[in-house]
Structure 1
Amino acid sequence: MTSHTVPLKRSPGMWLGGIVIAVAAWFALYRQLQPFSRWAVAHMPVAPGGALASSIEFFVYDTPKVLMLLTIVVFAMGVVRSFFSPERTRAILAGKREGLGNVAAAGLGIFTPFCSCSAVPLFVGFVSAGVPLGVTFSFLIAAPMINEVALGLLFALVGWRVALTYLAFGLTIAIVSGWAIGRLHLEGWLQQWVRNIRASDVVLQPEDMEWVDRFEAGWEGVQEIVGKVWYWIIAGIAVGAFIHGYVPAALLARIMGADAWWSVPAAVLVGIPMYSNAAGIIPVVEALLGKGAALGTVLAFMMSVIGLSFPEMIILRKVLSVKLIAVFIAVVASGILAVGFLFNLLFS
């Protein structure tokens, strides 16, 4: 006889107990990061108080801090994400008219686990379900740019005001940009094979997932997302550490300050060809703000990196014509520029 081993599923009590212990250990370790970074630099052969020591302390402190914050945020949002799926999102948006549909699509973009890599199947799925083009764009703008990782890390690293500012204006850009694209009626600029695709039935996930399954989904999210982005995080922290230690505050204020009218469009142009994600770019944002860069310029830079990256445009080229991609970039970039100029005007 052949025996089959069925993997044991942890009980809700085991999960809750493990989560409580893990959270307690997380907070205990988090409180020691700052003292440890100072101790580590003090025992290194570097001049105390110098640029190198400052950069190393920033790197030693921020690396575990950001990775720890990312882990707890991804786990929590992984549980939330278990209530959504591409099929369920598609069903919610199908039949929604522009206006209300743009608002619903942008709001769903915050909580759904989709990035630019998911652009092609999502776009095809939405079009096949009858979702208007403008509503689809509102979702595709919001999903990578206003994701929960960005908001969680912004809140933890640079404060709730910046996080709420990013949320409010990111949603505004997604809603208004999608509505504007929808008003242009550019469905004819989709690739022919996308226009010819037939509507398919929407299959929903079961609604009776147990909490154990949701906890496991959160842990799977940690393994998948943190496993994919940790090297981008370290690269971003390294850039932030260099800025923190070696870039003079006065120089950065002149380049990215509110008084330099050209800083916002320059930040957008620099951000578009870059490839990063929210977790990788936020340490750079933290360092820029700490050096006195203008809030509007920094937000414009971050939004362009996440929402208008060149690799995303390459992926979208499979479903959109060059003309439609150009319209997409122009509309979204205009919204990002407006955010940058407005905040530099209000907070200069």
Structure 2
Amino acid sequence: MWTETFKSFLSIAIELTVLFVVISFAINLVQAYIPYEKVEKYLSGKNKGMAAAFALIFAFVTPFCSCSTIPVVVNMLKKKMPFSIVMIFLFSSPILDPTIITIMGVVLGWKVSIIYTVITTVFSVIIGFALEAFGFEKSVKNVMVKGYEEETKTFNVKAAFNETLALMKSVYPYLINGALIGSVIHGLVPTHWIASAFGSDKWWIVPIAAIVGIPLYIRLSSMIPISQVLIAKGMALGPVMALIISSAGASLPEVILLKSIFKKELVVTFVLSVIMMSTISGFIFYLV
């Protein structure tokens, strides 16, 4: 049993390592052609539709975890960018990671990856504009977190390689942890137990998975290999995706950081919004 677990770990780890390095390097090369100055200009523009689109683009090309997003959000607020646009970025940045979404497509299937991207994109936009419409802009404290500085990067093959190494240091350990957990589940947890406990007929598992994902603080990079094994073991796709979105979209460390810049009502609304997005997304995956 332990031998099978070790073999499973090696298989998952090698596959994810190759995918991660190749995809990260390619994306870092592509980033050389992204005009960040124009993106920032459109983010601050009066055309809210265009600004929302560029907020999503900015979120997509800045693969931060939920905690790393906070300093960027503070910087956007400092520059007086529209509140709804800042919120769209806050919700979408941790869950729209191009590298992980691509790996998700290879591991879980491109249909799953595309639906995931569409759902999280749409919900991020809806929630962002809804929070502004309900007047939550007044719940932003006049406090600025230090430690974020913008920098201009020159991208080439060498720079893309260095960026890939830096990303490996920050994200790769989570990927390997996910592979380790996934291999343990694969080798030691009985298939029939997961299938019976978390099968497709248990609709109530979706909201539970969405709630449980918040305090777990499992990064998106860790959840992909874990979810691959859970689905292979018989767990329904709905609760798996609800867990992925909630654990990536919010976390206890992020909530603590948000309390320094947002008032209590906005922090609570943020968490509830992530749970709602995760739950509805899980049910959508049930349907499709």
Q: How does 1:75-94 map to 2 (within 5 A)?
A: 75-84=25-34, 89-94=39-44
C-alpha distance in structure 2 between counterparts of 1:237 and 1:115, whole Å? 18
Work out whether residues 259 and 267 of structure 2, in 8 Å CA contact, stay in contact via their aligned partners in 1. yes
1:109 maps onto 2:59 in alignment: yes
Q: Report 1:174-193 matches (<5 A).
A: 174-193=124-143
Decide whether the 8 Å contact of 2:69 with 2:94 is kept in 1: no
8 Å contact from structure 2 (residues 177, 222) kept in 1: yes
Task: Please say if residues 177 and 332 of structure 1, whose CA atoms lie closer than 8 Å, have aligned partners that are also in contact.
Answer: no
Alpha-carbon distance in structure 1 between the residues aligned to 2:158 and 2:41: 25
Q: Could you list the runs of 5+ residues in structure 2 that have no partner in the other structure? A: 145-149
Return 5+ residue gaps in structure 1 as ranges. Answer: 1-50, 195-202
Q: Tell me, yes or no, if structure 1 residue 293 matches structure 2 residue 243.
A: no
Structure 2 residue 65 is the aligned partner of structure 1 residue 123: no
Structure 1 255/180 Cα, relative in aligned 2: closer, same or farther at 3 Å?
A: farther
1:71-104 CA distances to partner (integer Å, 9 max, x unpaired)?
Answer: 1111111122334487654323012444443333
On the 8 A contact 1:85/1:205 being kept in 2, the answer is: no
Q: Does 1:68 align with 2:18?
A: yes
The answer to whether 1:306 aligns with 2:248 is yes
Distance 2:216 2:35 in 1: 29
Computing the radius of gyration from Cα coordinates, the structure with the larger value is 1
- Out of 100, 104, 112, the position equivalent to 1:150 is 100
Corresponding letter in the other structure for 2:157: F
> How many Å apart are 1:329 and its aligned residue?
1.3
Q: Distance in 1 between matches of 2:251 and 2:239?
A: 17
**Mapped partners of 1:154, 1:269: distance in 2:** 22
Counterpart of 1:317?
259
Is the Cα contact below 8 Å between 2:194 and 2:235 reproduced in 1?
A: yes
Give the TM-score of the pair, scaled to structure 1.
0.75
| Shift in alpha-carbon separation, 1:114–1:90, aligned structure 2, 3 A | farther
CA distance in 2, matches of 1:247, 1:112: 36
Q: 1-side partners of 2:119 and 2:224: how far apart?
A: 17
The CA deviation at 1:112 is 2.4
Cα distance in structure 1, aligned partners of 2:227 and 2:139: 36
- Structure with the bigger RCO (C-alpha within 8 Å, sep 6+) is 2
**Match runs of 1:262-277 below 5 Å:** 262-277=204-219
Structure 1 range deviating more: 272-281 or 131-140: 272-281
- Do structure 1's residue 172 and structure 2's residue 155 form an aligned pair? no
Identity %: 28
- Alignment correspondent of 1:240: 182
Runs of 4+ aligned residues of structure 1 deviating over 6 Å after TM superposition are none
3-state secondary structure, aligned to 2:59? helix
TM superposition shift of 1:230 = 2.6
AA of the residue aligned to 1:149: T
* In structure 2, distance between residues paired with 1:165 and 1:109: 17
2:59, 2:89 within 8 Å by CA — same for their partners in 1?
Answer: yes
Match of 2:109 in 1: 159
CA distance in structure 1 between the partners assigned to 2:156 and 2:78 by the alignment: 29
Deviations 1:195-222 (A, max 9, x none): xxxxxxxx9959xx5xxx3323321221
| TM-aligned CA deviation for residue 315 of structure 1 | 2.2
**Matches of 1:289 and 1:247, distance apart in 2:** 13
The one-letter code sitting in structure 1 at the alignment partner of 2:62 is: T
Distance in 1 between residues matched to 2:198 and 2:126, nearest whole Å = 26
Q: Find the aligned partners of 1:88 and 1:220 in 2 and give their Cα distance.
A: 25
In 2, are the aligned partners of 1:88 and 1:204 still within 8 Å (CA)? no
State the match for 1:139 in structure 2: 89
Native 8 Å contact 2:65 2:94 kept in 1: yes
CA contact (8 A) 2:64 2:94 kept: yes
What SS is found at the alignment partner of 2:211?
helix
TM-score (norm 2): 0.89
Name the CA shift for 1:182/1:83 in 2 (closer, same or farther; >3 Å).
farther
In structure 2, relative to structure 1, the CA distance for the partners of 1:274 and 1:96 (3 Å cut) is farther
CA distance, structure 2, for counterparts of residue 308 and residue 318 of structure 1: 15
